Each structure stands twice: as structure tokens, then as C-alpha cells.
Amino acid sequence: MKTVSTDPKWFADGRDVSSVDVADRSWQYGDGLFETIAIRSGKARLLDWHVERLQIGCRRLGIGPVPDSYLYDVVAGALRQEPSRSQFATLKLVVTAGSSPRGYRRSSESEPRVFVGLFPSQPIPAACYRDGVAVRRLATRLAEQPALAGIKSLNRLEQVLARREWDGDDLFEGLTLDTSGRLICGTMSNVFLFDGDRLLTPDLSRAGVNGIMRRKVLETLSTMGRDVDVADIDAGAADRCTEMFLTNSQYGIVPVTELDGRPLRPGVTTRSVMQLLGDAEFPEIAA
């Protein structure tokens, strides 16, 4: 039997790498972007949308251009080199602004660098899909920064600080508000909630990451004819909500059955979306 190493495997320019140049701006300033992509049965799930978001980020930060074809090639190359790891894995695709002399100013010679990391991964327990998960609102607030909102840059200290607020397994995810008190997202997920009959998901134009699975769920809800309001969500709506679910590109979608200690009950809409996704590209969702 072939054993698969539990260590991640990183590539750049088609070669194994274990380190990043000390002059790379990613390390110095977080000057770069990343995607974490679900690998299922040797394929990168929703890869087109990940590449699209990465390119939006590159344009916003002024990095590149990096041709789409190059990004597709490096992903395909990593999967080809490691077929035994690619049945169920997480691929991390990183684009950095490259190296430059010291200082915030990028050099005209700075060339973007692309790294691919292939990480062994496990599905979340089936009980999370079936019985739901517990979440609570965290104390760490997200700054309102339209210039960085929506994209997935390498500046992630807010998420690191938020993730330090709990340690055990009793909490599946923590929800973060912005500094004005609007509900924005989880540390690594997007959120949908029901305020009465209204289905809402936070507007992400000031903070948060515009999740790939959020987009997939919005599309799925649209095919179901279900309206979703992309809106500012205040504390009241979160207090009142009776139903909530989380989305993330690795696990897809999970219902929330406990919010700040208060029980919630997944209703027919949540279960229908899960069913549709489980029947399609997301077999691990045991709807």
C-alpha cells in the first residue's frame, strides 16, 4: 500500500520549493493574494471562479498581469505530479508581488511569483452537515477598507486575531462584525441568514472575502427562484434570525444550529440548497 505523506508539498515554476526568497514582498508586506481550492478526484473544484477572483485581486493590487493560462498550468502541473495526493486535498495557489529592494515601493523589476501548495485534507464530519454546527459572534472586528474588501490578500491578521478567540472543538466557526457592528463573515466562511422570510447575506464592499462557495450558493438559490438580499446586516437581524448557514470552498455548506448559544433550526431552503449541491459537484454534502 502506498502511503501518502501528510506534509504539504509546494511548487513554484514546476519545481519543489520549501522556502520563499527573503526579498519577496509577500513576506515583507503581505504583498500578494491567495486562493484555497478544493481538490476532489484529481480535479480543482470551481477553478475558473478561483482564477477569476485571484485576477480581480491582482488588478486591485496592481500585481502582474499573470496570464490565466499560466495559473491553470501550475495547478494542473501540481496535480499531475502528485496524483496520489489529489483525491481529496486542498490546493493553495499564491501570487506574490515578487522581490524588490526594501521599501513599500514596488520595483519596476518586481516580477510576480506563483506558488502552489498541495495539502492533505479530510472531509468535515458528516454530522456537521446532518446536525449542523455551533457558531458565535467574536469580539475581533474587521476594519472597513473598500480597497481590500472582497479579495483574498495575504494581509490576514484580522482573521488570525479572530481565530485566537477560541481553541476547542465546541465551536465550528466564529462570526466577525465590522467596526460599525455589521455582520460580515466567519473567519473562513461566508454566512447566509433568514430574517423572517427574508434571506440575507452580507454586503462585502467594505470588509470580508467574496467567497467562491458564496457565489455558488447565490447561483444555486437563483436557479431555485429564491431571492437573496445582499445587504448590510445589523446586530438586530442576527439576533432575530431563525435560520443560518455557512459556506466555504472546502466543505461547501453547513447549517448552523446554534448561534451564540441560541438554537436555530435549518429549514426547507437550507436543506434544498444542500440537496441540490450534494447531487451536483459536492458529494460530501450529505444533505
Residue ranges in contact with a second copy by CB under 8 A: 8, 10, 17-31, 34, 36, 61-62, 90, 92, 97, 101-106, 115, 117, 119, 140-141, 143-148, 153-164, 179, 187-188
In the bound state with a second copy, the residue whose beta carbon lies nearer, of 79 and 97, is 97
Q: How far apart are CA 253 and CA 278, in angstroms?
A: 10
H-run or E-run covering 115 = strand 113-120
In the bound state with a second copy, the residue whose beta carbon lies nearer, of 1 and 157, is 157
**Smallest gap from residue 148 Cβ to a second copy (A):** 6
In the bound state with a second copy, the residue whose beta carbon lies nearer, of 148 and 276, is 148
Separation of CA 188 from chain center: 6
Helix, coil or strand: residue 13: coil
Helix, coil or strand: residue 286: coil
**Smallest gap from residue 127 Cβ to a second copy (A):** 21
In the bound state with a second copy, the residue whose beta carbon lies nearer, of 2 and 105, is 105
Strand partners, 202: 231
Backbone angles phi, psi at 109, to 5 degrees: -90, -5
Q: How far apart are CA 271 and CA 160, in angstroms?
A: 31
**Smallest gap from residue 18 Cβ to a second copy (A):** 5
**Smallest gap from residue 182 Cβ to a second copy (A):** 14
**Smallest gap from residue 94 Cβ to a second copy (A):** 8
In the bound state with a second copy, the residue whose beta carbon lies nearer, of 30 and 42, is 30
Q: How far apart are CA 239 and CA 163, in angstroms?
A: 22
**Smallest gap from residue 268 Cβ to a second copy (A):** 33
**Structural contact between residues 28 and 21, judged by C-beta atoms closer than 8 angstroms:** no
Q: What is the DSSP string of 59-77?
A: HHHT-----HHHHHHHHHH
In the bound state with a second copy, the residue whose beta carbon lies nearer, of 166 and 278, is 166
